[in-house]
Structure 1
Amino acid sequence: MYPEICYKTLLAYASTIQTSPRELANAALSVSLNDELHQSNAAMKDLQGPDFEMKMRNIQTWVSAALINEDTCMDGIGGKAMNDKIKDTIWSNIARVAQLTSNALAFINELSY
């Protein structure tokens, strides 16, 4: 859906991806998760001060965005060009990451109340 950002973010992985749909999906997922979750992790280390609530809202937003990206990635894995076994493997890996991210978000949400 966003070819320019797709190209820019995945270009560094071109030698690994080559023509592999599996490597392409893995790289795309890694890029997606790294942006949102690294930002959240860094913010969690600095929750002191009067702007605690604002920081928590930002963290919740970033982790929620990571979950949405995982869902979008799962929706995008389809079509007849990809082997069903590879597709199933990718889906199970994405589902596992989504479950772990969802658990983390639940803990983060508890901190803000």
Structure 2
Amino acid sequence: MYPEICYETLSAYVSTIQTSARELANASLSVSLNDELHQSMAAMKDLQGPDFEMKMSNVQTWVSAALINEDTCMDGMEGKAMNGKIKDTIRSNIGRVAQLTSNALAFINELSYCE
């Protein structure tokens, strides 16, 4: 849907992806998650100060966005002509990442109530 950003973010993975739909999906998922989650990890290191609530809100937003990206990726696979085994593997990996991200978001939400 977004060829410019697709090329920009995935061109570094060309040698890994080659012609593999599985590697393309994995690289794409990794890139989409890394942006939001890396921002969240950096912000978590600097939660001190009077703007704690704003920083926590940003972290919650970024982790939630990562979770939405996973759902969107799953939705995007529906109806696509793709080898069933590859689609199942990708779906399984995305599901696991979604569960891990959901757990992280729950801990982050709990932290925002503790401070």
- TM-score, structure 2 as length reference: 0.94
Unaligned runs of 5+ in 2: none
> Which structure 2 residues correspond to residues 14-93 of structure 1 after superposition, within 5 A?
14-78=14-78, 79-80=80-81, 82-93=82-93
Give the Cα separation in 1 of the matches to 2:105 and 2:11: 30
Deviations 1:60-113 (A, max 9, x none): 000000001111111112411x10001000000000000000010011111112
Q: State the shift of 1:15 in Å.
A: 1.1
Give the Cα separation in 2 of the matches to 1:71 and 1:84: 19
Give the Cα separation in 2 of the matches to 1:2 and 1:108: 31
Unaligned runs of 5+ in 1: none
Q: CA RMSD in A?
A: 0.8
Give the Cα separation in 2 of the matches to 1:69 and 1:75: 10
Give the Cα separation in 2 of the matches to 1:18 and 1:98: 26
Report the 3-state secondary structure (helix = DSSP H, G, I; strand = E; otherwise coil) of the residue aligned with 2:14: helix
- Which residue in 2 is equivalent to 1:95? 95
Q: State the shift of 1:2 in Å.
A: 1.3
Deviations 1:11-31 (A, max 9, x none): 110111111100000000000
| Counterpart AA for 2:48 | Q
Number of aligned residue pairs: 112
Give identity over the alignment, percent.
87
Give the Cα separation in 2 of the matches to 1:109 and 1:40: 13
Give the Cα separation in 2 of the matches to 1:103 and 1:70: 14
| Counterpart AA for 1:61 | T
